[in-house]
Amino acid sequence: MKKEHINVSRREFLISSTTIGVGFSLGFYLSACSDGDKTESLTAKENLSAEKSLSDTPEVNAWVVIEPDDTVIIRIARSEMGQGSLTGLAQMVAEELECDWSKVTTEYPTPGQNIARDKVWRSFSTGGSQGIRGSHLYVRKGGAVARHMLIEAAAEKWEVPMAECKVANSVITHLPSGRTTTYGNVAKAAAELFPPEQVELKDPKDWKIIGKPIKRLDTDDKLNGKQIFGADLTLPGMLNAAIKACPVFGGKLKTFDDSKVRKMPGVRNVVTVDDNAVAVVADTWWQAKTALDALPITWDKGPNVGVSSESIEKMLDEGLTSKDKVSVGNQNGDVKKALQGAVKTVEATYRYPYQNHATMEPMNATARWTKDRCEVWCPTQNGMASLEAAAEAAGLPISKCDVYKIHLGGGFGRRGAFHDFVKQAVAIAKQMPDTPVKLLWSREEDMAHGHYHPITKCKLVGGFDKKGNLNALHVRISGQSILATVNPKWMQNGVDMLTFQGFHAEGDHAISYSVPNLLVEHAMRNPPVPPGFWRAVNINQNAIYMECFLDELAHAAGKDPLEFRRKLMANHPRNLAVLNAVAEKAGWGKPATKGVHRGLAVVKTFASYVAACAEVSVDHSGKLTIHRIVAATDTGYAVNPQQIEAQVEGSFVFGLSALLYGECSIKGGGVEQSNFHNYPSMLINEMPKVETIVMPSGGFWGGVGEPTIAVAAPAVLNAIFSATGKRIRQIPLKDVDLRPA
């Protein structure tokens, strides 16, 4: 049905939508600033090597634009930060669209357009391993609707029934006559049609693009320096800013003496940013940073100057046994009674430190503020939240602001819930109206002002009955709640259920075992160090607590750790299946190479089931070598198996870097570590061989980017125990003596 058949107001909406749909490139948006900038914007586009060519072609629908030359542009609302979901999401649209994959490209719609179009692209949030699993239904539907409209347009042109037409690879065929046409020929006509009321999605068994190990769409420019990251952005007339915020959490800026730096080369301005930071704006970033380093600044260090790792440790220790402010995350049976009646009990206390995300690309954002418009170019995991932050800082209605997303040089959760760098960039730009200003944090600023992996400790007590079965398990977590600081509205009656990730009774983060008497509690203790969502979040520590302690229990019971787990997993078949898969492939129960020892871990998290078996050796000097890790993952449906393998391998680098080196210690109310020399990340020479088993069992959609991180550390720690007889209950290992006991 043609759009004008319905009503005028809807037609107008469609025209305006189409207008919005024209050109999603960075250069276009600059030209939208004001009429006078049109020439300038072309220069900007050239300078930027803008990712997309401008297109006048009307969209078929919000997800699909098809050019006359059959190029298929698929719109992606979530952000690409390395995890590969740009390609995965395009695969899902293309599967239903039945288009020629070799002609597929992608583009980001802006959050401002999303608002103007009644959130047609839904969520822009790229975290919680949600990119694929949170949008598979509506993006596939977007592809299916576009396919329907394209076929309808061809059928109308030929004056034949739609049912007589079929499509494959962007070519529509009228079966009775054998006539063919391509999507590119009918896309313009299709754009004039109304979408069908209903479409049917393919049966997974018929998928041709989903489930295939297709190559990423974003590789070429990452091999030759053409890929523009936020830190690389250049706009005409742009200035550069370097910033320093009070190094003590909660501290404020008192004074600075800009007379010392105003005459330094390139310096244009020295500005206060919010109440806690100062920025130097200069022609180049190096000039801005050089002047900032020379700027005399005095800080009001505020109330937290006495906070240290030691004082935080005391807070957490109190919480391990306290009766105050304790919430329950999961319970069944009667743990106290069962422990009292236990034939044998085992107790241990574990600890997990603060860690920085340390994305390779430091925080940055470029802002341009005028009295009636504010625009921000930035790498963000959540464009909509960046837009809200920009509008707030700009003091303008959200309709007068927009955010242009750029691929991220790493996210890991740092660029999702926190938009401090956006607010700062806008606050600076606001003091220099009409001038684009790029704010780039130094690595040192990035280390000092993270939103850190929260710190917790955990006391676990297990009790055996007289048959030697695990009858009771009491888990007491003490430490920081992310939600209490970041967004208390996400808590449930004052309880941060995310703290119990991996211990839930059911759902995406459910416990992998059935224990007759179970109690899992959290004593919330919130030190004044800002916590954040750090890739995989609370399962990182909870998997160590649970999986290492289960290993301790198995050894206390004189049982094999695999057999001990299996007995508790009768009601958890998918968890058991991934555990069995790694045990079998690793050769669990069979002798390893001399000196090599194995350890296991399994979790369900982000709706996926993952397990790992690590093989390590520890020499007489205490040197650890991680030789090999076998990993299994059941994500339900696996959209791109080779990218799942890449995420699994990468997850071990992230998880093992945390295990080996990851700690931010606190002194004088701030973080002691300042750069990669004292906050190292693992290198290629420490990387084990990784064998990945992708075993999608179907029927559900699980996350990929995070789950495997959780099994990295506990599998290795359990292998270290096997190798040395030493039970390591706190990380990182860099300062731990691993010499065999």
Sheet of strand 624-634, all strands in order from the earlier edge strand to the far edge: 597-605, 608-618, 624-634, 689-694
The b-or-e profile of 448-468 (16+ CB within 10 A means b, else e) is bbbbbbbbbbbbbbbbbbeee
SS3 495: strand
Give how far the C-alpha of residue 567 lies from the chain's centroid of Cα atoms, to the nearest Å: 34
Give how far the C-alpha of residue 203 lies from the chain's centroid of Cα atoms, to the nearest Å: 29
Judged by beta carbon, residue 71 or residue 240, the one nearer other proteins is 240
Judged by beta carbon, residue 329 or residue 655, the one nearer other proteins is 655
Q: Is 741 in the site for other proteins (CB under 8 A)?
A: no
Judged by beta carbon, residue 202 or residue 443, the one nearer other proteins is 443
Contact pattern from residue 289 through residue 318 relative to other proteins, giving x for each residue in contact according to CB under 8 A and a dash for the rest: -x----------------------------
Q: Is 225 in the site for other proteins (CB under 8 A)?
A: yes
- Shortest Å distance, C-beta 93 to other proteins: 20
- Shortest Å distance, C-beta 270 to other proteins: 18
Q: Is 549 in the site for other proteins (CB under 8 A)?
A: no
Nearest to 486 by CA among 536, 452, 449: 452
| Distance of alpha carbon 294 from alpha carbon 258, whole angstroms | 9
- Shortest Å distance, C-beta 657 to other proteins: 8
Q: Is 606 in the site for other proteins (CB under 8 A)?
A: no
- Shortest Å distance, C-beta 674 to other proteins: 9
- Shortest Å distance, C-beta 656 to other proteins: 9
- Shortest Å distance, C-beta 242 to other proteins: 11
| Distance of alpha carbon 447 from alpha carbon 441, whole angstroms | 10
Structure token pair of residue 182 = 């391509």
- Shortest Å distance, C-beta 447 to other proteins: 10
Q: What's the sign of the alpha-carbon dihedral 124, 125, 129, 130?
A: negative
Q: Is 227 in the site for other proteins (CB under 8 A)?
A: yes
Residue of the chain from 9, 102, 198, 685 that contacts other proteins (CB under 8 A): 685
Listed ranges 50-58, 111-119, 630-638, 687-695: which one lies at the site for other proteins (CB under 8 A) = 687-695
Listed ranges 215-223, 427-435, 507-515, 588-596: which one lies at the site for other proteins (CB under 8 A) = 215-223
Q: Is 211 in the site for other proteins (CB under 8 A)?
A: no
Listed ranges 356-364, 489-497, 589-597, 661-669: which one lies at the site for other proteins (CB under 8 A) = 356-364
Contact 364, 285 (CB under 8 A): no
Non-local CB neighbours of 680 within 8 Å, separated by 6+ positions: 657, 660, 661, 734
H helical segments located in 122-247: 136-158, 183-190
Q: What is the DSSP string of 595-663?
A: T-EEEEEEEEETTEEEEEEEEEEE-TT--EEEEEEEEEEE-BS-S-HHHHHHHHHHHHHHHHHHHHH--
Judged by beta carbon, residue 564 or residue 679, the one nearer other proteins is 679
Q: Scanning residues 430 to 469, which ones bind other proteins (CB under 8 A)?
A: 440, 442-443
Size of the site for other proteins (CB under 8 A): 63
Residue of the chain from 141, 147, 216, 604 that contacts other proteins (CB under 8 A): 216
Residue of the chain from 265, 395, 725, 740 that contacts other proteins (CB under 8 A): 265
Q: Is 245 in the site for other proteins (CB under 8 A)?
A: no
Sheet of strand 437-440, all strands in order from the earlier edge strand to the far edge: 267-273, 277-282, 239-245, 437-440, 364-370, 373-378, 401-405
Structure token pair of residue 446 = 């990035």
Residue of the chain from 2, 5, 38, 222 that contacts other proteins (CB under 8 A): 222
Listed ranges 8-16, 165-173, 555-563, 679-687: which one lies at the site for other proteins (CB under 8 A) = 679-687
Q: Is 633 in the site for other proteins (CB under 8 A)?
A: no
Alpha carbon of 596 to those of 38, 588, 740: distances in Å? Answer: 65, 12, 13
Q: For 314, how many CA atoms within 13 A lie in the half-sphere containing its CB?
A: 4
Contact pattern from residue 78 through residue 107 relative to other proteins, giving x for each residue in contact according to CB under 8 A and a dash for the rest: ---xxxx-----------------------
Contact 356, 664 (CB under 8 A): yes
- Segment holding 378, helix H or strand E: strand 373-378
Judged by beta carbon, residue 520 or residue 660, the one nearer other proteins is 660
Q: Is 724 in the site for other proteins (CB under 8 A)?
A: no
Q: Is 226 in the site for other proteins (CB under 8 A)?
A: yes
Structure token pair of residue 490 = 């996400």
Q: Is 649 in the site for other proteins (CB under 8 A)?
A: yes
**For the CA atoms of 437, 443, 444, 450, what is the dihedral angle to 10 degrees?**
90
Contact 95, 202 (CB under 8 A): yes
Listed ranges 131-139, 241-249, 671-679, 723-731: which one lies at the site for other proteins (CB under 8 A) = 671-679
- Shortest Å distance, C-beta 8 to other proteins: 47
Q: Is 681 in the site for other proteins (CB under 8 A)?
A: yes
Looking up tokens 């949008």 gives: 135
Structure token pair of residue 543 = 């998997």
Q: Between β-strands 373-378 and 401-405, what pairing exists: parallel, antiparallel or unpaired?
A: parallel
Judged by beta carbon, residue 520 or residue 704, the one nearer other proteins is 704
Nearest to 134 by CA among 126, 142, 144: 126
| Distance of alpha carbon 337 from alpha carbon 448, whole angstroms | 47
Contact 654, 535 (CB under 8 A): yes
Q: Is 163 in the site for other proteins (CB under 8 A)?
A: no
Q: Scanning residues 392 to 421, which ones bind other proteins (CB under 8 A)?
A: 407-412
Residue of the chain from 285, 354, 606, 609 that contacts other proteins (CB under 8 A): 285
Judged by beta carbon, residue 588 or residue 652, the one nearer other proteins is 652
- Shortest Å distance, C-beta 348 to other proteins: 30
Q: Is 687 in the site for other proteins (CB under 8 A)?
A: yes
Q: Is 360 in the site for other proteins (CB under 8 A)?
A: yes
Q: Is 706 in the site for other proteins (CB under 8 A)?
A: no
Structure token pair of residue 703 = 């996350």
- Shortest Å distance, C-beta 388 to other proteins: 24
Residues interacting with other proteins, by CB under 8 A?
A: 47, 81-84, 215-216, 218-229, 231-232, 234, 240, 265, 284-287, 290, 358-362, 407-412, 440, 442-443, 642-643, 646, 649-654, 657, 675-677, 681, 683-685, 687, 689-690
